[in-house]
């Protein structure tokens, strides 16, 4: 059965290394655009976005086009899903179009895993509920490698709403496979104790200053208001205790970098000063999104 990419948890370190290595080949140089490689001409990639995300969807679309593949994008509002048709029915319709791969974003955790049990078409998970977002973790790893040259032995702090973050879970799985020292930090309600046992090398910290101490990488997460079903803390209070500000950067390593998967809430989880600083890798992350997704799609399409 052809393999897609459902998550980082289930893949091996050497597979991750191969993807990251291939992604490097796709990175544009200087002011150039992404090279068109056309290794996947004639393949059809269907992007199924049951949850809105212009950024991720465009990134996958550009990646597929750079590989020479055809793309078809379907968003939930324009599909029959909203008319009460089941996920299985929708996908069966699509499979009749014989795509080479399906890229899927869905609000329910495990939705791509559920489908992969009923389909033979490989599925690339573009974010499932509060579970995983594997290509985001890969592009984050590519970004860290570009700047730090290695993953082993780094100290990485992930800060914010860990409980509801698929970005956090995928990053934790990926970085743990490389022996990274991981510190997770957030208010207790958004950082369940069980997170410490998701992977090896993870510690929990409820104090932002202690979390960023000596960090090589600081990953900020978006406060996902739409997923928080009970009031956590007032916005001002959140920023006071968990918002990353310039004063915190003095505690981290001098060459520390700051990352954010976007979209950012300035003044809620990160100050503009930090977001726009030299240490901010936010735009590099976006750019690496395309090269990493080219590497992932090529791997899935050419197997």
Partner 1 sequence: MKLLIQNGRVICPETGHDAVADVLIEDGRIAGVGPGLSTSGAEVIDAAGLVVAPGFIDIHVHLREPGFEHAETIETGAQAAAAGGFTTVCCMPNTNPVNDSVTVTKYIVETARRKAAINVFPIGAITKGSNGEELASIGSMIAAGAVAISDDGKPVMNARVIRRAMETARALDIPVIEHCEDLNLSAGGDMHECDDSVRLGLRGIPSASEDVMVARDIILAELTGVRYHVAHISTKNAVAMVAYAKQRGLRVTAEATQHHIALDTGHMKPYDSAYKMKPPLRCEHDVKAVVDGVVSGAIDCLATDHAPHAGDDKMQEFERCPFGIIGLETALGVSLEVLVHSGLISLPRLIALYTSEPARVIGWKNELARGALKPGYVGDVTVFHPEYPWVYDVKNSLSKSSNTPFSGRTFQGGPILTIVGGQVVWRADGF
Q: Which residues bind partner 1 (CB under 8 A)?
A: 9, 86-88, 106, 108-111, 113-114, 117, 128-132, 163, 166, 169, 192, 194-195, 197-198, 229
Cβ distance 218 to 159 under 8 Å? Answer: yes
Report whether 279 belongs to an annotated binding site: no
Cα separation of 56 and 262, whole Å? 10
Q: Nearest approach, Cβ of 64 to partner 1 (angstroms)?
A: 25
| Nearest to partner 1 of 195, 257 (CB atom) | 195
Report whether 299 belongs to an annotated binding site: no
Q: Nearest approach, Cβ of 123 to partner 1 (angstroms)?
A: 13
Q: Give the β-pairing of 217-220 and 155-159.
A: parallel
Helix (H, G, I), strand (E, B) or coil at 166: helix
Report whether 55 belongs to an annotated binding site: yes
Report whether 127 belongs to an annotated binding site: no
| Nearest to partner 1 of 45, 111 (CB atom) | 111
User: What is the token pair recorded at 213?
Assistant: 């101490």
| Nearest to partner 1 of 227, 245 (CB atom) | 227
Q: Nearest approach, Cβ of 88 to partner 1 (angstroms)?
A: 6
Burial class (CB in 10 A: 0-12, 13-18, 19+), 234: exposed
| Nearest to partner 1 of 162, 212 (CB atom) | 162
| Nearest to partner 1 of 40, 167 (CB atom) | 167
| Nearest to partner 1 of 28, 192 (CB atom) | 192
Q: CA nearest 6: which of 96, 110, 92, 76?
A: 110
Q: Nearest approach, Cβ of 296 to partner 1 (angstroms)?
A: 20
Burial class (CB in 10 A: 0-12, 13-18, 19+), 98: exposed
| Nearest to partner 1 of 20, 163 (CB atom) | 163
Q: Nearest approach, Cβ of 255 to partner 1 (angstroms)?
A: 32
Report whether 98 belongs to an annotated binding site: no
Which residue is listed with tokens 């914010």?
Answer: 160
Q: How distant is the alpha carbon of residue 138 from its chain centre?
A: 7
User: What is the token pair recorded at 118?
Assistant: 């009923």
Beta-bridge partners for 169? none
Report whether 303 belongs to an annotated binding site: no
Element holding 247 (H helix, E strand): helix 246-249
Report whether 18 belongs to an annotated binding site: no
Report whether 166 belongs to an annotated binding site: yes
Radius of gyration of the chain (CA): 19
Q: Nearest approach, Cβ of 240 to partner 1 (angstroms)?
A: 27
> What count of other Cβ atoms lies within 10 Å of the Cβ of residue 58?
15
Give 30's DSSP letter.
T
Q: Nearest approach, Cβ of 118 to partner 1 (angstroms)?
A: 8
Per the annotation, binding residues for carbamoyl phosphate are 55-56, 105, 133, 136, 262-263
Enumerate the known binding-site residues: 55-56, 83, 105, 133, 136, 166, 222, 262-263
């Amino acid at each position: 059965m052809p393999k897609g990419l459902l998550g980082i948890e289930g893949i091996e370190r050497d597979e991750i290394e191969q993807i990251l290595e291939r992604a490097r080949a796709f990175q544009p140089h200087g002011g150039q655009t992404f090279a068109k490689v056309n290794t996947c001409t004639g393949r059809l990639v269907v992007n199924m976005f049951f949850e809105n995300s212009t950024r991720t969807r465009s990134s996958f679309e550009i990646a597929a086009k750079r590989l020479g593949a055809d793309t078809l994008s379907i968003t939930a509002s324009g599909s029959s899903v909203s008319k009460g048709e089941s996920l299985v029915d929708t996908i069966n319709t699509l499979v009749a179009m014989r795509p080479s791969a399906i890229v899927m974003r869905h609000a329910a955790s495990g939705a791509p895993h559920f489908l992969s049990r009923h389909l033979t078409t490989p599925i690339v998970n573009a974010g499932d509920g509060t579970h995983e977002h594997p290509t985001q973790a890969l592009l984050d790893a590519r970004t860290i490698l570009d700047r730090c040259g290695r993953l082993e032995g780094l100290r990485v702090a992930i800060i914010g709403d860990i409980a509801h973050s698929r970005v956090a879970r995928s990053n934790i799985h990926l970085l743990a496979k490389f022996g990274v020292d991981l510190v997770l930090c957030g208010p207790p309600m958004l950082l369940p104790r069980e997170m410490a046992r998701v992977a090896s090398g993870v510690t929990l910290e409820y104090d932002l200053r202690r979390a960023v101490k000596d960090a090589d990488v600081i990953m900020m997460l978006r406060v996902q208001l739409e997923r928080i079903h009970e009031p956590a803390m007032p916005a001002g209070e959140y920023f006071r205790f968990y918002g990353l500000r310039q004063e915190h950067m003095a505690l981290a390593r001098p060459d520390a970098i700051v990352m954010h998967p976007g979209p950012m809430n300035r003044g809620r989880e990160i100050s503009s000063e930090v977001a726009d600083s030299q240490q901010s890798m936010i735009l590099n992350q976006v750019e690496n999104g395309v090269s990493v997704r080219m590497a992932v799609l090529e791997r899935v399409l050419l197997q």
